[in-house]
Amino acid sequence: MNSRIISIFLGSGLLLCLTIFLTSYANNVRLPGNHEGYEPVQPIAYSHRLHAGELNLPCLHCHTDAGRSRNAGIPAVETCMSCHTFVTAPIVDVRAEDKRAEKTGEKPSRIISPELKKLYDMAGLDDELRPDPAKEARPIAWVRVHRLPDFAYFNHGAHVSAGVECQTCHGAIETMERVRQVSDLSMGWCVNCHRDANAQGVNGRVVAAPTDCSGCHF
């Protein structure tokens, strides 16, 4: 009699452990090709939170092609320089330097934050932001975060012009220090969104989102 109770107890316990283990495992299990949560370190610690969030720059200010091209486009170094010729470090550091200069009475020297230093190196500029013959200007090799397989064609222009928010796919980018992939970018995820869009429209606008295979695969 006893033994039976014990065995039942043990059995159920085992079962419980098993389920806990399996469910927790199931949550981290990931199908091949799903890079959801991918958050690589970038050559320059560019902060979307600062630029898109705090400073509230519109996405298309830098990603100029998103509205008209298949690629959203990563801004050229040139684009960064349009502001960072003037902004070379966080304002607090600059203030601090000014104070120090005031005290000592010498003219404040230019403060360059370490990350922007990298940018200037890329642009082939020296600390005084003058072209440095020693350095060769070269493009920045960012690590790509969002990647669709090559057999899936995606066009930013079509989506942006249809009124789809960048955040719909890229998540709350304006809150991210470092860009992270928030959606699994699976076919089911795309198709469901297209179906909903056709049913409800995008922000009240009627849209014709293709649900044909050849909408993306060709």
Partner 1 sequence: MPFLNKGISTIMKRPETGHIDPAPAPQRGFDRRTFLKAAGFTFAGTVLTGCENGAVEKAIPFLVRPEEVTPGTPTWYASTCGGCSAGCGILVKNRDGRPIKIEGNPSHPISKGGLCATGQAMVLSLYDSHRLREPGISGKVAAWDAVDGLVAAKLAESRSAGKSVRILTGSGAGPTTRSAIDAVIAAFPGARQVVYEPLSVAALADAHELCYGRRFVPHYRFDRAFVIASFNADFLGTWISPVEFTADYRAGRSPEDPSRPMSYHVQFESRMSLTGSNADRRVVVRPDRMREMLGGLAHCVALETGSDAGPFPPPVADGEKEILVTLARQLAAAGAKGLVVCGVNDLSCQVFAASINAMLDNRGVTVDLDRPATSRTENDRETGALLAELDAGTVGVLVLDGVNPVYDHPAGEAFAAAMKKAGLTVAFAQHDDETSRHATIVLPKAHPLEEWDDAEPVAGVVSVRQPVIAPFGNSRSLAECLFAWTGERIGAREAIRRVWKSGIFPGQRAQTEFAGFWDTTVHQGFTTIDPTPSGHRVFDATALSRLPAPDAGEQPGFVLELYPTVALLDGRHAHNPWLQELPDPVTKVVWDNYAVLSPVTAARLGVGEGDEVRIVAGGAVLELPVVLQPGQHDEMVSVALGYGRKGTDRFTSIGPEWFESVATVEPGETVGRNAAPMLIIRGGHVSTWRFGVSVTPTGAVRTIAATQIHHSLHVPEHLAPKNAERRPIIQETSLAAYAQSPEAGRFETHEIVSMWPDEHNFTKHRWFMSIDLTACTGCSACVVGCQAENNIPVVGKDEVYRNREMTWLRIDRYYTEEKDGLSVAHQPMMCQHCAHAPCETVCPVLATVHSEEGLNQQVYNRCVGTRYCSNNCPYKVRRFNWFDYPRGDDMARLVLNPDVVVRERGIMEKCSLCVQRIQEGKIAAKEEGRPLRDGEIRTACEQSCPAQAIVFGDLNDPASRIAASRKNPRFYRVLEEIGVEPAVGYMTLVRNRPEEGGRNG
Partner 2 sequence: MAERYSILRRPLIAGNKSFDEVTRDVCAPLESKSTSAWWMTFAAALAMLSVGAVAVGYQLKTGIGTWGLNNTVGWAFDITNFVFWIGIGHAGTLISAILFLFNQKWRTSVNRSAEAMTLFAVMCAGIFPIIHMGRPWLAFWVIPYPNMRGPLWVNFRSPLVWDVFAISTYFIVSLVFWYVGLIPDLATIRDRATSKIKRAITGFFSFGWDGSNKTWLRYETIYLLLAGLATPLVVSVHTIVSWDFATSVIPGWHTTILPPYFVAGAVFSGFAMVLTLMLIVRKVLHFEDYITLHHIGAMSKIIIATGGIVALAYATEFFVAIYSGNDYERFTFVNRALGPYAWAYWIMVGCNVGVPQFLWSKKVRSNVALVFAISLLINVGMWFERFVIITISLTRDYLPASWADYSPTSVEIATLVGSFGLFLTLFLLFARFLPMIAIGEVKGVLGYGKQTEGGQR
Binding site for partner 2 (CB under 8 A): 31, 34, 184, 186-189, 191-192
Closer of 32 and 204 to partner 2 (Cβ): 32
CA 140, CA 19: separation in Å to the nearest integer? 48
* 11 in contact with partner 1 (CB under 8 A): no
* Tokens coding 60: 């298309």
* 77 in contact with partner 1 (CB under 8 A): yes
Chosen residue from 82, 153, 172, 192 binding partner 1 by CB under 8 A: 153
CA 180 to chain centre: 5
Q: What is the 3-state secondary structure (H, E, C) of 176-203?
A: CCCCCCCCCCCHHHHHHHHHHHHHHCEC
Left if phi > 0, otherwise alpha if psi is -120 to 50, otherwise beta: which for 58? beta
Closer of 29 and 91 to partner 1 (Cβ): 29
CA 7, CA 5: separation in Å to the nearest integer? 5
* 215 in contact with partner 1 (CB under 8 A): yes
The item of partner 1, partner 2, none sharing an interface with residue 188, based on CB under 5 to 8 Å by kind, is: partner 2
User: Which positions touch partner 1 (CB under 8 A)?
Assistant: 33, 40, 65, 67-71, 73-79, 122-123, 137-144, 147, 149-153, 155, 157-158, 161-162, 208, 211-215, 217-218
